Amino acid sequence: MDRIQPGQEWPHKLLAWFDQNRRDLPWREGRPRNPYYVWVSEIMLQQTRTEAVKPYFESWKRRFPTIEALAEAKEADVLHAWQGLGYYSRARNLHKAAREIAEKYGGAIPEDKKDVRALPGIGEYTAGAILSMAYGKHEAAVDGNVLRVYARLYGIESDILKSAGRKEITTLVEKTLPARAGDFNEALMDLGSEVCVPKHPKCEKCPLHGECAALRLGLENVLPIRTPKKKQKESIVCCAVMIKEGKALFHLRPSKGMLSSMWELPMVLSDSEKDGVKMLEKLLGGKAGERIWTYTHVFTHRIWHMKAYLFHGAKEPEGDYRWYSCEEYREIPLAGPHAKLAAYIEPYLEE
Active site residues: 42
Cα–Cα nearest to 181, from 144, 223, 146, 224: 146
Q: How many residues in total does the chain contain?
A: 351
| 33 touches 109 (CB < 8 A) | no
Q: Which long-range contacts (CB under 8 A, 24 or more apart) does 102-111 make?
A: 102/67, 102/68, 102/71, 102/72, 103/71, 107/66, 107/67, 107/68, 107/71, 108/35, 108/67, 109/35, 109/36, 109/39, 109/67, 109/134, 111/135, 111/137
Q: Is 62 exposed, middle or buried (0-12, 13-18, 19+ CB in 10 A)?
A: exposed
How do beta strands 302-312 and 233-241 pair? parallel
Q: Is 210 helix (H, G, I), strand (E, B) or coil?
A: coil
d(CA 17, CA 164): 30
Q: What are phi and psi of 105, to 5 degrees?
A: -125, 15
d(CA 248, CA 351): 12
> What are the C-alpha distances in Å from 227 to residues 157, 188, 200, 230?
12, 23, 19, 9
Cα–Cα nearest to 125, from 94, 78, 166, 84: 166
> How many CB atoms sit inside 10 A of residue 93's CB?
15
d(CA 71, CA 104): 12
d(CA 41, CA 59): 12
